[in-house]
Structure 1
Amino acid sequence: MAVQPEGAQWLTWSLEQVASTLGRRFPGQHVWVVRASRMYLHKFSCYRNFVESNMFGAPEYSRDFGAFPHLRSLLSHGMKQANLPNPLPPQGGADGIPSGFSLTLVGFSKGCVVLNQMAYELDRARADPQVAPFVDCVSAMYWLDGGHPGGSETWVTDRQVLRDLAASGVSIHAHVTPYEVRDPMRAWVGREHRHFIRTLEELGARPSQKLHFEDEPPSIENHFRVIQEF
């Protein structure tokens, strides 16, 4: 970022700085920050290793893509590289899950497409005896000001997918800013966010939600600041 004219101004929000911020937000826990598998033009994150996407990172969700097994493989490798005791095996059923292992998943901006893809996979993943024990370790999911360059599906609106998410028992959190949900040029983002929350509530879930910086003009700086404030 330091050598890129467009990136240098955002060094406060580099991968390393975000890891430190999340470390303060979740003290006493291991924090893993997953970088996008591809960056188009040095600024468009693309998580094609988790969800089928175009070059700009706009997703095409699928019920059987494999985001959960991929996350498990990444965590397994990371834990081994860090020489952590009792690392997570790259695959396997309940016998391979370390005692007390728990996951809190946080997606920010474009990274929220990964959480959306996981929501689409929940039903089939929980029916797979090799994947279900890992999925059951997810205790909470945080959507932080989700956004991507596509024209829809910034937030999950499929009722059946939301039914699966509501039934999972995962603690659901949605933190947004006017930068995403009050942009008149992308009005669908705010509509989808409201639909996401309302439908989950109708289905019996109790999602927590907060609009940060409500009384301030929309800005990309506040979009990033939600990482500190959630």
Structure 2
Amino acid sequence: MNRWTGILKVPLFPGSRGHYKVAASLCISTSSPNPIVPSANAIFFNGDRVKGTGNPVIERLSDLETIAEIIVGKLGENVNAWVIEASKFNGPFAVYKDFIPSVNEWGEPLSYDPTGYPSLTSTVSLLSSCLKEVKNTLLSNYEKPYVDEACSSSFSQPKTFLFGFSKGGSVLNQLVTEIAFSEVKSNIVSSQYDIIPTSKENLVNSITEIHYVDVGLNSSGAYITDQDIISRISKRILEGASGIRFVLHGTPRQWRDSMRVWIGKEKDTMVNLIDTESRKCGDKLSVCERFYFGNKQANMQMHFEVIESMDIS
């Protein structure tokens, strides 16, 4: 097995004007140009742009391909990584309008609303566009004829691990809201050769871990604080939906920011809500928080260093 890593620029839907920049690191077959079915897909939503800082650590950990390599290094060679950058920016501010329809001009969420399942739908469509582009790229570089069939050692649908870094955490909140309102369907048909989730139902069923990576906003909404959302997640699990593990990674840059004290308070609220509901679901619903660089003064560098330092075990 080899790996293919590269930067893709793809439309969300065929014919869309806006394009997303996505770094992909995929396991591929040594005998054909096809990506193989992974054990899991790791989907990482990036935050605002930070460039020209003169800090080599920040510059390196702002690179999408570097982030993809880090995620693969943490999860293993049988995992595909997709690192997504917003298609629209207002200056340095990421605006995930396709995933969170209710945002202001700086990309700050005004609310999280499941109507129409925009985030689930957009995620599935974007991965599909990415995979199509990867296959086209690989095929154009493959000289000899081949049999177009996937090579897989896995006969079950790949798991999905979600990551949201900084403002990318707001996409996670929208996804969690949509999951909470999704119908429980345990009989979803999935081909053993599905490399990525091919429907929003497949995606919901495959999500097993959600990692908040030093998330924070200049307004409220960095974490889920709505008890109804977490209660609905718990209820879905009790009705037979897949279990979910939440991991909240943080640094003093966000959790101890005296100018944005709501970030730490929202984090505590979300942890308490999940803790309460987990007593109903046992180990099928869990949350843990991990604090990094706690003995250091808050700075921008640690905000990016957590990507490399985070413990996802």
Normalising to structure 1: TM-score of the pair?
Answer: 0.85
Amino acid at match of 2:223: W
Query: 2:288 maps to what in 1?
Result: 208
Selected match of 1:155 from 223, 237, 260 = 223
Aligned counterpart, 2:130: 78
Separation in structure 1 between the aligned mates of residue 66 and residue 216 of structure 2, nearest angstrom: 21
The answer to which structure has the higher strand fraction is: 2
Query: What is the CA deviation profile of residues 104-140 of structure 1, one whole-angstrom value per residue up to 9, with x for unaligned ones?
Result: 1111100000100011111333358763232101111
Whichever residue aligns with residue 56 of structure 1, its letter is W
Structure 2 counterpart of 1:116:
173
Normalised by the size of structure 2, how large is the TM-score?
0.64
Give 1:156 shift.
Answer: 0.5
- What is the deviation of 1:33? 0.6
State the structure with more CA Rg: 2
Query: Is residue 61 of structure 1 aligned with residue 118 of structure 2?
Result: no
Partner of 1:195: 269
CA contact (8 A) 1:105 1:142 kept: yes
Q: Which residue of structure 1 aligns with residue 201 of structure 2?
A: 132
Partner of 1:89: none
Deviation at 1:149, TM superposition (A): 2.1
- Which SS does the other structure have where 1:209 is aligned? strand
Retained in 2: the 8 A contact 1:57–1:149? no
Contact 2:94 2:106 in 1 (8 A): yes
Q: CA RMSD in A?
A: 2.3
Deviations, residues 72-123 of structure 1 (Å, cap 9, x unaligned):
111112122222965xxxxxxxxxxx84322111111000001000111113
Counterpart CA distance in 2 for 1:196 and 1:140 is 15
My pick for the range that moved more, 173-182 or 62-71, is: 62-71
Q: Give the 4+ runs in structure 1 shifted more than 6 A.
A: none
Tell me the distance in 1 between the aligned counterparts of 2:121 and 2:80: 19
In the TM superposition, residue 21 of structure 1 has moved relative to its aligned partner by 1.6
Matched pairs, number:
215
Q: What displacement does 1:8 show?
A: 5.9
CA distance 1:5–1:138, change in 2 (3 Å) = closer
Corresponding position: 1:14 with 2:88: no
Judge conservation of contact 1:40–1:55 (CA < 8 Å) in 2: yes
Partners of 2:113 and 2:53 in 1: how far apart? 32
State the alpha-carbon separation in 1 of the partners of residues 217 and 258 from structure 2.
Answer: 15
Letter of the 2:89 counterpart:
M
Any unmatched runs of 5+ in structure 1? Answer: 87-97
Aligned to 1:94: none
Kept in 2: contact 1:57–1:148 (CA 8 A):
no
Which residue number in structure 2 is paired with residue 23 of structure 1? 72
Matched, 1:185 2:237: no
In structure 2, list runs of 5 or more residues that go unmatched: 1-49, 139-148, 189-198, 279-284
Structure 2 counterpart of 1:146, one-letter code: V
Give me the identity figure in percent: 26
Instruction: Please say which of residues 74-83 and 28-37 is displaced more in the overlay.
Output: 74-83
